[in-house]
Amino acid sequence: MKILLVEDDKLLNHHLTTVLGEAGNQIYNAHDGELALHYADNYPIDVGIVDLGLPGMDGLTLIRRLRERQIPFPIIILTARGNWQDKVEGLEAGADDYLVKPFQKDELLARLNALVRRSAGFISPRVCAGDYELDLSRKELKVAGEVVTLTSFEYLILEYLMRNARQVVSKQQLLDQLYGDGEGDPNTIEVMVSRLRKKLDPAGKIQPISTIRRQGYIFNLSCS
**150 vs 148: CA distance, rounded Å:** 6
**224 vs 215: CA distance, rounded Å:** 25
Pick the CATH number of 126-219 from 1.10.10.10, 3.40.50.720, 3.30.43.10, 1.10.760.10: 1.10.10.10
Where the chain has pLDDT below 50, the residues are 122-124
Domain with CATH 3.40.50.2300 in the chain: 2-120
**192 vs 199: CA distance, rounded Å:** 11
pLDDT at 103: 85
Domain with CATH 1.10.10.10 in the chain: 126-219
pLDDT at 72: 85
Q: Which one-letter DSSP state was computed for residue 102?
A: S
User: In whole angstroms, how far apart are CA 3 and each of 8, 73, 151, 189?
Assistant: 16, 10, 16, 24
Condensed to tens digits (0 to 9), the pLDDT of residues 162-198 reads 888 888 999 988 988 887 765 678 888 999 999 999 9
Q: Which CATH architecture has domain 2-120?
A: 3-Layer(aba) Sandwich (3.40)
CA pseudo-torsion sign 167, 134, 158, 160: positive
In terms of Cα–Cα distance, which of 128, 129, 90, 97 is closest to 112? 97
pLDDT at 126: 78
What pTM does this model have? 0.61
pLDDT at 177: 81
